[in-house]
């Protein structure tokens, strides 16, 4: 790409006006400190002066023509910026500092245009590299553009004090509200244990087939959306029509088979109409493309986040994802490990909790104890290491018949309709087991307390 015959966008007058305003009124720095950086300046002298002004501000020292000149002299940079004559010149450019924010926005705008030009060159280089993995190339290009849009270039080392400062400025109300708030699961005991589904966390939900992984995930999706969160579901196994049917059965409390056959009573039809209305108002977005890579998903999620907002992502399920590497040298465990790392990176990049559903091996079925263990995930690459939270769904009734149970556990009620959410790993908190009741016919998990309260209410009536 030939750019030598064109000047990069810049606004020298705006740059000088920013510097002049700072020299006239050092406290005006507070109006622009949050969005203007030394790198936004086109001319090196202005960049150097602004950087020194920022250092003085951080040291709580006055910013004016004298202190800036002294600091430049101390650092042997006074002549490099044009001497005291240049400082006097920029002071004469503006009569007052009242419009410093406007000048700073002009400087930032032209800096963004220069960044865009550099990005175009970098994207061009990606194309010339001719990587056989098209999706990886597209993801790299998207990363570059997204970095400009979100104003989050690749980060270097950050002093701990900069990370700690927001804790002093943020109240408990701020933490529990708005874009920083965790996502409620809709299950009280689980939320108390995890503190909700935390932003940037990768959560793994694992179990054997037909235990209820997708069912539980859809319950979480509905519960989150009911609380006005925006939810994205990537379903590589079920089509969107099947997901919609399951959600309707759950919301309307109608047997799934009856719903599919449309053999409904008048009261069920009324509940169905009501459920359609409620679910239609929810911000749940479904992508049922059967073959996808994490790079594709991340690109789609970014676009969704920019257009509508995004609070929670569900992937169903991880072992069906492709990493698009196309290498015969990597085995499936290595491939899943790479996918797991990419899912974790997506959660951090988008700052939303990502619930990744995972299949467990058959080894559980051949053990005396059918309760899943973290070791059951170790065959699936680095999922266990990457995850912030690992949850298993355990339902003994899925492994032991009623006859076998009565024979081996005399006097103990058969655990029909009972489930346990086993939080086997919690990077930032305790682990525990959450008992739930489950109704497969309508695809619904409920807390034990809710079941007991309903039973008591029924008895009283």
Q: Which of 75, 108, 141 is the last residue of a domain?
A: 108
Query: 394 and 267, same structural domain?
Result: yes
Identified catalytic residue from 237, 335, 396, 397: 237
Structure tokens at 135: 């999706």
Q: Which of 61, 82, 108 is the last residue of a domain?
A: 108
pLDDT digits (tens, 9 = 90+) for 38-77: 999 999 999 999 999 999 988 889 999 999 999 999 999 9
What CATH number is associated with residue 356? 3.40.50.300
pLDDT recorded at residue 456: 40
Domain range for 21: 12-108
> Exposure of 446 by Cβ count < 10 A (0-12 exposed, 13-18 middle, 19+ buried)?
middle
- Could you tell me which of 409, 377, 406, 395 has the C-alpha nearest to residue 438? 395
Task: For residue 118, tell me if it sits in a domain.
Answer: no
Q: Once rounded to an integer, what is the mean pLDDT over residues 100-126? A: 90
Res. 461 pLDDT band, cuts 50 70 90: very low
Task: For residue 346, tell me if it sits in a domain.
Answer: yes
Query: 304 and 196, same structural domain?
Result: yes
What CATH number is associated with residue 28? 1.10.860.10
Catalytic, 237? Answer yes
Output Rg (C-alpha) for the chain, integer angstroms: 29
Answer yes or no: are the C-beta atoms of 223 and 274 closer than 8 Å: no
CA atoms within 13 A on the CB side of 18: 33
The tally of domains found in the chain comes to 2
Structure tokens at 288: 């049922």
Where is pLDDT greater, at 303 or 98?
98
Query: 216 and 87, same structural domain?
Result: no
Task: For residue 114, tell me if it sits in a domain.
Answer: no
pLDDT recorded at residue 176: 55
Res. 300 pLDDT band, cuts 50 70 90: confident
Q: Once rounded to an integer, what is the mean pLDDT over residues 432-442? A: 91
Res. 405 pLDDT band, cuts 50 70 90: confident
pLDDT recorded at residue 164: 67
Q: Which of 83, 108, 133 is the last residue of a domain?
A: 108
In percent, the amount of the chain with pLDDT more than 90 equals: 39
3 state DSSP class of 328: coil
pLDDT digits (tens, 9 = 90+) for 75-103: 999 999 999 999 999 999 898 999 999 99
Q: What angle do CA 321, 327, 331 make, to 5 degrees?
A: 65
């Amino acid at each position: 790409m030939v750019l030598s015959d064109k000047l990069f966008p810049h606004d020298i007058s705006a740059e000088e006006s920013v510097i002049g305003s700072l020299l006239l009124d050092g406290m005006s720095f507070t109006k622009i400190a949050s969005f203007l950086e030394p790198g936004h300046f086109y001319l090196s002298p202005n960049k150097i002066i602004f950087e020194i002004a920022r250092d003085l501000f951080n040291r709580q020292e006055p910013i004016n023509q004298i202190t800036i000149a002294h600091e430049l002299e101390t650092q042997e940079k006074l002549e490099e910026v044009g001497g005291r004559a240049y400082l006097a010149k920029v002071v004469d450019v503006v009569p007052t500092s009242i419009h410093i924010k406007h000048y700073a926005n002009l400087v930032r705008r032209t800096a963004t245009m220069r960044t865009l030009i550099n990005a175009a060159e970098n994207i061009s280089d990606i194309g010339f590299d001719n990587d056989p993995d098209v999706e990886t190339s597209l993801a790299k290009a998207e990363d570059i553009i997204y970095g400009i849009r979100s104003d989050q270039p690749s980060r270097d080392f950050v002093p701990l004090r900069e990370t700690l400062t927001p804790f002093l400025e943020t109240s408990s109300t701020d933490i529990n509200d708005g874009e920083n708030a965790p996502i409620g699961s809709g299950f009280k005991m689980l939320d108390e244990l995890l503190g909700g589904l935390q932003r940037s966390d990768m959560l793994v939900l694992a179990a054997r087939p037909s235990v209820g992984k997708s069912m539980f995930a859809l319950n979480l999706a509905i519960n989150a959306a009911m609380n006005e969160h925006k939810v994205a579901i990537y379903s590589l196994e079920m089509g969107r029509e099947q997901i919609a049917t399951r959600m309707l059965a759950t919301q309307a409390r109608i047997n799934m088979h009856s719903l599919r056959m449309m053999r409904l009573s008048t009261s069920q039809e009324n509940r169905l109409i009501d459920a359609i209305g409620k679910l239609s108002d929810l911000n749940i977005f479904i992508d049922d493309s059967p073959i996808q890579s994490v790079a594709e998903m991340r690109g789609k999620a970014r676009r969704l986040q920019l257009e509508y907002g995004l609070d929670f992502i569900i992937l169903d399920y991880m072992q069906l994802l492709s990493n698009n590497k196309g290498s015969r040298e990597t085995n499936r465990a290595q491939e899943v490990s790479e996918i797991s790392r990419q899912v974790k990176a997506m959660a951090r990049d988008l700052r939303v909790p990502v619930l990744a559903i995972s299949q467990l091996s058959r080894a559980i079925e051949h053990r005396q104890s059918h309760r899943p263990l973290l070791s059951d995930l170790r065959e699936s690459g680095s999922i266990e290491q990457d995850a912030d939270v690992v949850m298993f769904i355990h339902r003994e009734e899925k492994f032991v018949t009623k006859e076998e149970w009565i024979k081996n556990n005399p006097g103990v009620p058969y655990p029909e309709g009972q489930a346990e959410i086993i939080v086997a790993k919690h990077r930032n908190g305790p682990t525990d087991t959450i008992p739930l009741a489950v109704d497969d016919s309508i695809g619904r998990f409920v807390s034990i307390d809710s079941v007991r309260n309903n039973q008591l209410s029924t008895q009283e009536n």
